[in-house]
Structure 1
């Protein structure tokens, strides 16, 4: 830490921070840039290999946060893990690559009054990030929706370099067809509805993550360094206090401080620095600099899983060799398709009008916006640890809520920067969310039972009470939900555009301070982020 004065300081070396450091260094070569990352720079083959994270202990390269007890889940606690390594959560995730729908970005632009956040205006930046490799069933012609020279190789299961011919692929496609889902050739074209081949950031068994974005010589990296407080001269951001190997230090910014620490840690840092609700800051004896709703509007994408055992052996992860000539389970996540859905049931429309505000009803009814998502993981994949794996082959069916109406918060546990925040996604506190989840699960369980999963493979649901096996009532589905619910770690909204930041991502009332991660989303997007 010899040099401590820089033009720009970026706090957080995750997806947003790594991309910004790369692009700033290229466009402003005469300016000095500091990138601060709380975790290590390198995390060996646990990160570099596509499936390394899932076969390893990663506690040291992630923020091991848990939620507070969730009232909507009978007091259960859910994991709220985030990446703590250069590349952030892109270094420890399942490498899914989705953008969201055009209608959601157009709605975002409309709500904040700035067309630069619309789909057409964002598309050039989406394209710039990727080198797109279409799946074998897709058009091989170059598409105006994709980029072909970006730092991240975006492939599909059929085009990711190694054979990933999962034995149950045709069965999974049949389930989606039986559920009435249309085949969508390109989920990342702006139309997300239907089912499409799984797009992922992996190639030849190697993860493609944000740390691969090139950094110029004008970028200094401080790894294993935690930002603990933002510094101000009046309303001008002038630097950051940090901890490195237990020692305190300070970095000074000549132009801007840009925070990109994720929906949990960004809001925590702003709160520790005096930016947030008065009552929250007074509770911890922190002097308030600005009364902004930092930490409010928090949401995540929760899921409910169902688990199915098939009759034959040797058809899934955990019941066959990891690498065969036709199927290499180490080459990427064991998933063939995404599927995104809308729900138009009359009782849901009635419930939204009874329980939501006018803006929320408009978002719910937005044409082209997905409400839920489904995908199948081959094998027994249970993140709660509450469902015992069977002998033999199986598949895990995830029903995911991607348009949640429930809103929670990020709050401080104390004024100590080393204490984890109080994370409350408030899952299923809005009745619309429960009904959406039940409709998604009911649709998919019904489709599984009517498809070749049962007629050809003899699939039987396990991990449930015998009395619930043929019961698809709301009550029986809730019992499945409470037992299997977790989230897919898509937190957003805690420094929302329009209430905490403006459309340039500048924190309201301050100069030289921006937030640029998923904290700024005004509402949750139906995508993986």
Structure 2
């Protein structure tokens, strides 16, 4: 079976314990780096993934079943610490424990954010290579735009001039119409000042309402595993993929002078693997700082307190966690034609799954909403005047609104028919952290999302809910909507809305920033602009944790862009 020769289920099967590059984490970033480095046949590349393969995992293939991998063996099954801004609630925090990482079980939103987001990265790092202009070729290198699986005419639904058609990861528009699509488009005509029609949200200025774009091809999820680690690539003689193996620590080579030269990777079996050139941490915004701190890289005082010998004092490790809170509004409706029929009816689900298996079409070929709206708070709003503007610039939305048909998101599925909007603060001012469990440092980390620690965020979410309510005030909804069910219809004061937000917000699972990049000589941050860990040699980070600021987007596209550029940085250095 030569096609599987380079994929190993356990560490004992490895043909060697020494490689040029060892990449820790086979998620969104690590899969890209493994693929691109192994393009050079002289590099021996090992990719280590803690979870199992994605091959044959149906719930990772069917777009509609995106959330079905949570609380399974394909999830790290993390939970957050009680959130002060969430009325001390804890939240489930799913992370992909599967080849492809979170790209194998996210909601497949293909959103790049604004050009301002990337230009701010370039500014704070002092590296113009992180600007929108310089990263756009890498974004296009990643993308392979494809028609929706039902083949309908998409002219006027997107701008082909801003997309890539010869990349490696499929992207597409929705293939299955939803009952509320025409009404949503009617709102853009009735309320063009607040909800202008947006031809393409990925052109650098995502302000307005446009069609959802997803990492889907031929009605099937396109993940970093399916795109970058297909058998076409894993048959390379120099690419080795090790599954079911958790990395716990990285170590400097004994006797290496400053800066420390890292070259040893430790797994749960206490087995050591050697990286002759570089270790690349791509374990994600939770597990990357977890590995660093267990390796003695982090805040010296905090590590010493729990008995970990400090190897390198980098106080920023695990700090700056930035995530986007989500809440929303929901209404009962007079129609019996909503996605609640599918949500509640197992017979219809079986029919939809059979259709997907046969033709890759139907409701199971899509991931969720067919539209997304993006909005900015006014520059003269009292919120911005009082707390400042955490966004990257005038092209950048503060809020994301995703209209949906059905009771998903905010209601436990129940009899009836509903419509609603998922509301997200995409430029939060609050910050959280990842820290070690003092009693069991190698156990599950403490994840503090920091939601609503900043007053800006609670006020911005309040405005998001009010904007969503105004969306449904359009006359096109007049005979459709019966009554508001979330927030409760009698929750009309700001204080009542704030209480609803704190009691019912949950997470988008969009953590970034816990090993942030900063300028070369900066006294804060974890990696330099070339993504090498400050004060080290042979140790680099390539995942969402290096983002100094979150983008006004879902993180997967920025991570793909980071990873494509990082691969070139590494190849150019070692070639």
Contact 1:176/1:447 (CA < 8 Å) preserved in 2?
no
Distance 2:282 2:203 in 1: 27
Distance 2:265 2:110 in 1: 33
Distance 2:465 2:28 in 1: 32
Contact 1:99/1:527 (CA < 8 Å) preserved in 2?
yes
Counterpart of 2:567 in structure 1 is: none
| Pick aligned residue for 1:378 from 405, 408, 411 | 405
Counterpart of 2:550 in structure 1 is: 524
Distance verdict in 2 for CA 1:461–1:329, change over 3 Å: same
Counterpart of 2:367 in structure 1 is: 333
Counterpart of 1:45 in structure 2 is: 58
Contact 2:409/2:422 (CA < 8 Å) preserved in 1?
no
Matching of residue 254 in structure 1 with residue 276 in structure 2? yes
Matching of residue 5 in structure 1 with residue 29 in structure 2? no
Displacement after TM superposition at 1:58 (Å): 4.9
Distance 1:332 1:119 in 2: 29
| Pick aligned residue for 2:125 from 86, 96, 112 | 112
Displacement after TM superposition at 1:144 (Å): 4.3
Q: Secondary structure at the match of 1:254?
A: strand
> 1:277-319: per-residue Cα shift (whole Å, max 9, x none)?
1222012211112221100101101011222221111322435
Matching of residue 35 in structure 1 with residue 61 in structure 2? no
Deviates more, 1:285-294 or 1:9-18: 285-294
Distance verdict in 2 for CA 1:415–1:229, change over 3 Å: farther
Matching of residue 65 in structure 1 with residue 84 in structure 2? no
Contact 2:70/2:77 (CA < 8 Å) preserved in 1?
no
Distance verdict in 2 for CA 1:67–1:56, change over 3 Å: closer
Aligned residues: 505
Counterpart of 1:504 in structure 2 is: 530
Matching of residue 409 in structure 1 with residue 423 in structure 2? no
| Pick aligned residue for 1:147 from 164, 169, 172 | 164
Distance 1:365 1:33 in 2: 37
> 1:15-40: per-residue Cα shift (whole Å, max 9, x none)?
000011111111x2111011010100
Q: Counterparts in 2 of 1:67-106, with a 5 A limit?
A: 67-106=80-119
Distance 2:174 2:487 in 1: 31
Contact 1:138/1:185 (CA < 8 Å) preserved in 2?
no
> 1:248-302: per-residue Cα shift (whole Å, max 9, x none)?
3111100000001111110110000011012220122111122211001011010
Counterpart of 2:572 in structure 1 is: none
Contact 2:298/2:317 (CA < 8 Å) preserved in 1?
yes
Displacement after TM superposition at 1:467 (Å): 2.4
Q: Counterparts in 2 of 1:361-372, with a 5 A limit?
A: 361=389, 363-364=390-391, 366-372=393-399
Counterpart of 1:21 in structure 2 is: 34
Counterpart of 2:561 in structure 1 is: none
Distance 1:289 1:378 in 2: 53
Distance verdict in 2 for CA 1:57–1:432, change over 3 Å: closer
| Pick aligned residue for 1:238 from 263, 274, 291 | 263
Distance verdict in 2 for CA 1:388–1:134, change over 3 Å: closer
Distance verdict in 2 for CA 1:100–1:463, change over 3 Å: closer
Distance verdict in 2 for CA 1:287–1:418, change over 3 Å: closer
Q: Unaligned stretches of 5+ in structure 2? A: 1-13, 519-524, 556-575
Q: Unaligned stretches of 5+ in structure 1? A: 159-163, 354-360
Counterpart of 2:292 in structure 1 is: 270
Q: Counterparts in 2 of 1:100-249, with a 5 A limit?
A: 100-133=113-146, 136-138=153-155, 143-158=160-175, 164-175=176-187, 178=191, 180-212=194-226, 213-214=228-229, 215=233, 216-233=236-253, 234=256, 235-243=260-268, 247-249=269-271
Contact 1:6/1:33 (CA < 8 Å) preserved in 2?
yes
Contact 2:157/2:199 (CA < 8 Å) preserved in 1?
no
Displacement after TM superposition at 1:328 (Å): 2.0
Distance 2:162 2:490 in 1: 48
Normalised to the residue count of structure 2, the TM-score between the two structures is 0.83
Matching of residue 302 in structure 1 with residue 325 in structure 2? yes
Distance verdict in 2 for CA 1:390–1:173, change over 3 Å: farther
Contact 1:95/1:202 (CA < 8 Å) preserved in 2?
yes
Counterpart of 1:356 in structure 2 is: none
| Pick aligned residue for 1:475 from 495, 502, 523 | 495
Q: Counterparts in 2 of 1:457-472, with a 5 A limit?
A: 457-468=480-491, 471=492
Distance verdict in 2 for CA 1:329–1:140, change over 3 Å: closer
Contact 1:156/1:200 (CA < 8 Å) preserved in 2?
yes
Displacement after TM superposition at 1:148 (Å): 0.9
Contact 1:130/1:150 (CA < 8 Å) preserved in 2?
yes
Distance 2:428 2:217 in 1: 32
Distance verdict in 2 for CA 1:84–1:185, change over 3 Å: same
Displacement after TM superposition at 1:141 (Å): 10
Displacement after TM superposition at 1:176 (Å): 5.4
Q: Secondary structure at the match of 2:277?
A: strand
